[in-house]
Amino acid sequence: MNTVSSKHDSSELPDAECDAFQALSSRRSMRAFCPDKPVERRVVEQILELAARAPSGTNTQPWKVRVVAGATRDRLCARLMQAHETEEADCEEEYHYYPEQWFEPYLSRRRQLGKALYAVAGVAKGDHAAMKQQLGRNYRFFDAPVGLLVCIDRRLEVGSWLDLGTFLMGIMVAARGFGLHTCPQQAFARFHRLIRAELDIPQQEYVVCGMALGYEDSAAEVNRLATIREPVDAFATFFWD
């Protein structure tokens, strides 16, 4: 098999709506999309083609993506929503995204995000029904017309999960070039059994996460959430002699 392909041909791509700096700085997790503004299949293909330029250890390219739109998306969402509401499906995390015991400084950052998100989503403190409803919106891809389910072969190691992360970022940045927005969604992982059955995903793969893709609903309050970051000197140490 020839694994050495020629240089990527970007001649078919339209002019990007923003440059790399703008794409990085304008990327945010959107949690409300315009359901009636469709995304062309060719655009999704181009986004995936660009994202697949991500580096990966020994060029193994471990990413696997199921793209859902139209009737398949609607059916999957309906089943997930029902499972979430009735808790009928035996949902289970197949891998640990988070540690069992939280600790600082991550605990505070997580709390800060939760508080800010619930404030813009109109969820009052301790209102478990509203919290559940907010979580449930994940399973409609926050009304985005396109959903991605991202998987990886379970025989691969943690290094390939790093590769997957760079690929995910590529999707999110490339989407900005088309004027689109995204939300990465780990919430899907707990319903891997249902998703597996619906989309015929083999047992050999982990369902790592989902991702909503579409045009932001700029009128939605929940999209006003602007998360903050630690300054560079809080996480980077320079040995700059």
Ligand X SMILES: Cc1cc2nc3c(=O)[nH]c(=O)nc-3n(C[C@H](O)[C@H](O)[C@H](O)COP(=O)(O)O)c2cc1C
Contact residues: ligand X, CB under 6 A:
28-29, 31, 113, 138, 183-187, 209, 227
| Smallest separation, CB 119 to ligand X (Å) | 13
Among residues 13 and 119, whose Cβ is nearest to ligand X? 119
**What does the alpha-carbon distance between residue 76 and residue 90 come to, in Å, rounded to a whole number?**
16
Q: How far is the CB of 192 from ligand X (least distance, A)?
A: 13
Helices (H), the chain: 20-26, 41-51, 70-86, 106-121, 128-137, 158-177, 192-199, 232-235
User: Cβ 193 to ligand X, closest distance in Å?
Assistant: 17
- Rounded to the nearest whole angstrom, what is the least distance from the CB of residue 183 to ligand X in the complex? 6
Instruction: Tell me whether residue 51 or residue 183 sits nearer to ligand X (CB atom).
Output: 183
Smallest separation, CB 58 to ligand X (Å) = 24
Helix (H, G, I), strand (E, B) or coil at 184: strand
User: Please, which residue, 14 or 20, has the CB nearer to ligand X?
Assistant: 20
* Cβ proximity to ligand X, 4 vs 105, nearer residue: 105
Q: Which is nearer to ligand X, 81 or 113 (CB)?
A: 113
CB 164 within 8 A of CB 150: yes
If you write DSSP's letter for every residue of 61-117 in order, what string do you get? ---EEEEEEHHHHHHHHHHHHHHHHH--S----SS-SS-SS--TTHHHHHHHHHHHH
Q: List the structure tokens of 69.
A: 């739109």
The rounded distance, in Å, linking the Cα atoms of 50 and 9 is: 10
